[in-house]
Amino acid sequence: MKKVSLKLKSSLSPVSTMVRDPNNSLKIFISLLIVTIFIILSGGCLGTDLQNGPQSDFIIACTIPPQEEFIRAITGNEEVSVLVMVPQGASPHTFEPTPSQIAALEKADLYLSLGSGIEFENRWLSRIQNQYPKLPIVNTSKNVHFLPASHDSHDAQDMTDLIHENGNTERNDPHVWVSLRNAALIINESCGAISGIRPEMKNSFEINRDVYLRKLSDLDNTILQSLKDRSSQTILVYHPAFGYLCRDYNLTQLAVEENGQEPSAQKLAEIVTRAKEEGIEYVFTEPESSTREAETLAREINGTIILISPLASDYLENMHRVAQKISGTL
């Protein structure tokens, strides 16, 4: 913590005067106490800002916590600072960055965007580009096959057919990273962009990438085996963040929210009826948002809520945990 010295000017009343005037003594004591508290709090904030600042001259920015694991897997032993704009526990649908976060981007070498239409990027990427026109911003999802945002009532084949029939949709499902197969595409693009900044490390980065891609593939096969031949293929989620995962493993996502909106009373009644008919007893919801509505829905179907996060920073382990929780309910 930064040390601050305080010097009392000679114009202050002598100690003898303070003793003779209790009211004046009390006022001075309170004033000094307020100043001391302010200095302590200011010093604490300064220390936190410095601690969270970049520690390397190679700085890569990204949008969500899972991307940090991708970046560190690619860079390996290369010293790199990763600026995650939407921190752990926050939602990229609603989060607003602090001025210090935006200021930190001035020294960044690269910004790896999701490029999926996630709200944070919709609101901020153009502003960031305008403020830092020399900062390369790379869309890491340009090879991802997007699903339409409103696909909660479709199974995997229905969704694929819908895309082929309608072509590009007005609004994509932005949760592209909640798929190991999409993650592989995102990592390939990320590796190419990072190698462009440090071309002398390209071979090393590609070796690291391939090691991580093998881990993704192994986990993909494990999850595929754990979810096949289940009696039920429908999962009830409050927020529709798991459409790509459902596509990968031939599941159906029955979502309560639609386009970020709470359901109407009629739709909620239909969901409750369908859940009871299909014997669904679990409502999946996310720890990054309030669970109150999900708990209410769970009571309506005599069920239980289960927390699964699409945004945990330990991406591989988290995807395994999510799959295990889903598998245990089907």
For residue 60, report the phi and psi dihedrals to the nearest 5 degrees: -120, 130
Q: Do domains 59-221 and 231-327 have the same CATH topology?
A: yes
CA torsion 114-118-123-127 (nearest 10°) is 0
The per-residue pLDDT for 289 is 84
Whole-number pLDDT of residue 259: 76
As a whole-number percent, the residues of the chain with pLDDT over 70 amount to: 76
pLDDT of residue 135: 98
DSSP 8-state symbol, 11: T
What average pLDDT is seen over the chain? 83
Q: For 190-210, what is each residue's pLDDT tens digit? A: 999 999 999 999 999 999 999
Nearest to 325 by CA among 226, 251, 241: 226
* Residues 305-313, mean pLDDT to the nearest whole number: 96
pLDDT at 89: 93
69, pLDDT greater than 90:
yes
Query: For residue range 258-290, what is the model confidence (pLDDT) as tens digits?
Result: 877 888 899 999 999 999 999 999 999 999 888
In the prediction, which pLDDT does 52 show? 54
pTM of the model: 0.78
Hey, what are 9's tokens?
């000017």
Structure tokens at 106: 């001035």
CATH number given to 231-327? 3.40.50.1980
Given the structure tokens 């909106």, which residue do they identify? 261
Mean pLDDT of 122-131: 98
Distance CA 214, CA 91 (A): 29
Q: Which pLDDT band holds residue 41 (cuts at 50, 70, 90)?
A: very low
pLDDT of residue 328: 85
- Least-confidence region, from 15-19, 145-149, 309-313, 317-321: 15-19
pLDDT of residue 215: 98
Retrieve residue 269's tokens. 């009644």
Question: Given a cut of 60, is residue 14 above it in pLDDT?
Answer: no
pLDDT recorded at residue 230: 73
Q: What is the CATH number assigned to the segment(s) 59-221?
A: 3.40.50.1980
Contact criterion met (CB below 8 Å) for 1 and 44: yes
Rounded Cα–Cα distance for residues 50 and 54 (Å): 8
CA 244 distance to own-chain centroid: 16
pLDDT at 107 over 90: yes
Residue with the two structure tokens 């999510």: 322
Residue 82 has pLDDT above 70, yes or no: yes
8 A C-beta contact, residue 303 and residue 275: yes
Q: What is the mean pLDDT of residues 110-121?
A: 97
Residue among 259, 300, 258 at smallest CA distance from 282 = 300
Rounded CA gap, 67 and 137, in Å?
Answer: 14
- For the cut 50, the answer to whether the pLDDT of residue 311 exceeds it is yes
Q: Give the strand order in the sheet containing 110-113.
A: 81-84, 59-62, 110-113, 137-139
Cα(123)–Cα(32) distance, integer angstroms? 44
**Does the structure show a pLDDT above 70 at 63?**
yes
Per-domain residue ranges for the chain? 15-52, 59-221, 231-327
pLDDT-derived band at 48 (thresholds 50, 70, 90) equals very low
Q: Give start and end residues of each alpha helix (H) in the chain.
A: 15-20, 22-52, 65-75, 99-104, 119-131, 156-166, 180-197, 202-227, 243-248, 265-277, 292-300, 315-327
Tell me how far CA of residue 69 lies from CA of 54, 62, 66, 190, 260, in angstroms: 17, 11, 6, 11, 27
Name the β-bridge partners of 304: 282
User: In this structure, what DSSP letter does residue 105 have?
Assistant: G
Report the Cα 133 to chain-centroid distance in Å: 25
Angstrom distance (rounded) from CA 129 to CA 206: 28
Q: What is the pLDDT of residue 23?
A: 52
Q: Give the residue from 150, 171, 151 showing the smallest Cα distance to 159.
A: 151
pLDDT score recorded for residue 290: 86
Q: In this predicted structure, what is the pLDDT of residue 17?
A: 39
Give the confidence band of 243 by pLDDT, cuts at 50, 70, 90.
very high
What was the pLDDT predicted at 248? 96
Please, which pLDDT band fits residue 129 given cuts at 50, 70 and 90? very high
What is the phi/psi pair of residue 6, to 5°?
-115, 130
